[in-house]
Amino acid sequence: MIAMRLVKFWLPLLTSLAAVRAADPNCPRYPAAARTETEDSLQLDRDFQALRRKGASRAAASNRPASNNFIDQVLFQKMAADGVAAAPRTTDAEFLRRIYLDLSGRIPTPEQAEAFLNDPDSNKRAVLVEQLLAAPSYADQLTLFYANKFKVTRAHESVSSPGRDVFHKFLRDAIASDRPYDEFARELLSAKGEVDSSPGTQFFARWMDVNGPIQDSWDDITDKISTIFLGYKTECVSCHNGRAHLEKINLHLSRRTRKEFWEQSAFLSRMFYVRWSDDPIGFRPRIILVDRDYGTYSGAVPATNPGNRPAREGAVVTPKYFGTGVAPPTGEWRRELANAIVSDRQFARAAVNHIWDYFFGFGIVDPPDAWDMDRVDPASPPPGDWPLQNSHPELLDQLARSFVSDNYKLKSLIRQIVSSDAYQLSSRYDGQWKPGFTRYFARYQARRLSAEQLYDSTITATRTEQPMVIGSSGRVAVYANQLPDPTEPISDFRVVDFMNQLGRGNWMTIDRSTEPTLLGLLYQMNDSQIVNRSLGLANSNVPATNRVHQVDAKATTDEDAISAIYLATLTRHPTDRETTLILSRRSGPRYQWLSDVQWALLNKLDFTFNY
């Protein structure tokens, strides 16, 4: 009898919990792809933890030369202690291609490659790093990196082309001048004024929920701020308490509540939008962003427009910072939010971890925008079989301290990273690779080029750069990493199609992806962007100044021509075997078979991947 009563009591509850868990992966606020990424990363953390526990019995002395870079001192010491061998150092050609792709967004020209490879200076890698950090292409590439985080696009109905251009210039100017990152963040988070002209306001307009209640806009922006600047998502707890939703993927958030999220979102509750239009039919909406000196966060929403979140019952709250529970000292709540964020230790840690992820393909805490704050402190380890998410706490803290002491300068941080031996490890690995080695950063993780890198490297390799007009402003870009958003170049649908097919995303409904796909490979083989640009015979689409024409006209021998095409496309000279094979397959005029060679090289994994 008692057993039957227990069954009747617990069965509905268990069924309800099962339904919640089953529904959660399909939650629009936490798509299945994001959950899968987090679960995969969690497994790598467990693999790394298992290797660390076995490390004491496998310790081996490192034969690597001493390094003055603290990154190397931490990583290689840990590898040696755990008996994990590091990959060999990159060749000059591998390093050259990698550093150009990472710092300028495209491969070097053959002239640049030849100069570097023939330079006998033992310090030439450090010299090249300084040259690239000082080049305009560095500002273009890092602007694209951050633009992909803020996603300010004119495709959103509250952001016009002029507003988008103002934001892009604001961002690029900060990168080009190496403006302190904390200073940039303060200005952005406190921005006010008209969206078409006031820098930073476009970020808030971009994440407005135009058709919903104002609380949805506050909540959406709050989550974007925490993700971009603090490294952890809060979107889940904007709809429900963490319990029964997040236990398997985020220990910390599973304990947080909607009320705590509302208190964070309340920092924005005195922010007010004025919407108007400067044309008689309202075709071009305009927005002015202001801060009032009154108001608080309330759950009261219009009955006819409740928004896309569950009802906020009992939500009448004033601001408290999510990380510390501290209330703002003044009534200027949004400015106080900016102060709280940049003063938070997590701000610097998240910033350096995002940059580390960009250069290594994985964060020290990974995913870099899904921190589990209960799994990052080795002095307070997580319970049970939960692994530490922070693979190198001492390194992350040292990077963050160095970033702060260098006045939040990105160039100093990037110089420290790319100058390390760890960054300059090869993607080739001589021993047996184990998944847990990923967290040691024991080799460079090869990854497919982004859509913009593929386009820019293609036109560099084929010598077919062409101007692209941006929107209605008349500004001209040559390289894809100079474009302000994925709607561009509006003047050339072929370029738009190329980058969309190869994973650029649209910053609205389609996420960016660099995952290689069969369709992507087939597209690269057949798209005119690659086929026409590698043709040796000029047609209406390709000028007679392209790479094959240039090489065919200048090379004295076929061997020289082959070597020149390889250097222009793969940033290396061919092997003897490759040269012999091509010479044995020659057919027709030289420009014709050279065209075939370059087309084949543009479709090699050596070209498609940063390795």
Q: Are 421 and 67 in contact (CB under 8 A)?
A: yes
Residue 285, pLDDT score? 72
Phi-psi label, residue 284: left if phi above 0, alpha if psi -120 to 50, beta otherwise: beta
pLDDT band at 5 (very low <50, low <70, confident <90, very high): very low
Contacts of 344 (CB under 8 A, 6+ apart): 230, 321, 323, 324
Residue 7's pLDDT is what? 40
Q: Is the dihedral of CA 159, 163, 169, 171 positive or negative?
A: negative
pLDDT at residue 25 is higher than 50: no
For 561-592, the three-class secondary structure string (H helix, E strand, C coil) is HHHHHHHHHHCCCCCHHHHHHHHHCCCCCHHH
What's the confidence (pLDDT) of residue 529?
Answer: 79
| pLDDT value of position 8 | 38
pLDDT at 11: 38
Q: What would the pLDDT profile of 62-91 be if each residue is shown by its tens digit?
A: 566 778 999 999 999 999 999 999 999 999
Q: Which pLDDT score is estimated for 247?
A: 81
Q: Which two tokens stand for residue 528?
A: 């005119």
- Residue-wise pLDDT tens digits, 248-262: 889 999 999 999 999
Q: Does residue 46 carry a pLDDT above 90?
A: yes
Q: What is the mean pLDDT of residues 343-367?
A: 97
Question: Does residue 57 surpass a pLDDT of 70?
Answer: no
- Asked if residues 47 and 35 have their Cβ atoms less than 8 Å apart, the reply is no
Q: What is the pLDDT of residues 531-545, one digit of tens each?
A: 889 987 755 566 678
- How confident is the model at residue 212, as a pLDDT? 92
CA distance 67 to 509: 45
DSSP result, 331-384:
S-HHHHHHHHHHHSHHHHHHHHHHHHHHHHSS-SBSSTT---TTSS-TTSPPST
Q: What pLDDT does residue 1 have?
A: 38
Which tens digit of pLDDT belongs to each residue from 418-446?
999 999 999 999 989 999 999 999 999 99
pLDDT computed for residue 59 by the predictor: 52
Q: Cβ distance 386 to 251 under 8 Å?
A: yes
pLDDT of residue 210 exceeding 70: yes
- Integer CA distances (angstroms), 432 to 51, 81, 86, 352, 429, in order: 14, 18, 11, 30, 8
Question: Mean pLDDT score of the chain, rounded to an integer?
Answer: 90
Helix (H) or strand (E) holding 287: strand 285-291
Nearest Cα to Cα of residue 570 among 604, 595, 596, 593? 604
Give 339's pLDDT tier (boundaries 50, 70, 90): very high
pLDDT, average across residues 96-121: 98
Q: Where do the DSSP E strands lie in 69-154?
A: none
CA atoms within 13 A on the CB side of 398: 13
- Cβ neighbors of 258 (< 8 A, separation 6 or more) are 237, 238, 239, 240, 241, 312, 315
**Least reliable range by pLDDT among 22-26, 385-389, 485-489, 522-526:** 22-26
pLDDT at 541: 62
Residue 410 has pLDDT above 70, yes or no: yes
Q: What does the radius of gyration of the chain's CA atoms come to, in whole angstroms?
A: 27
- Number of C-beta neighbours around residue 344 at 10 A: 17
267-324 pLDDT tens trace: 999 999 888 877 766 566 789 999 999 999 999 999 999 998 999 998 999 999 998 9
Tokens coding 571: 């940033």
pLDDT of residue 12: 38
Q: Tokens standing for 313?
A: 């019952």
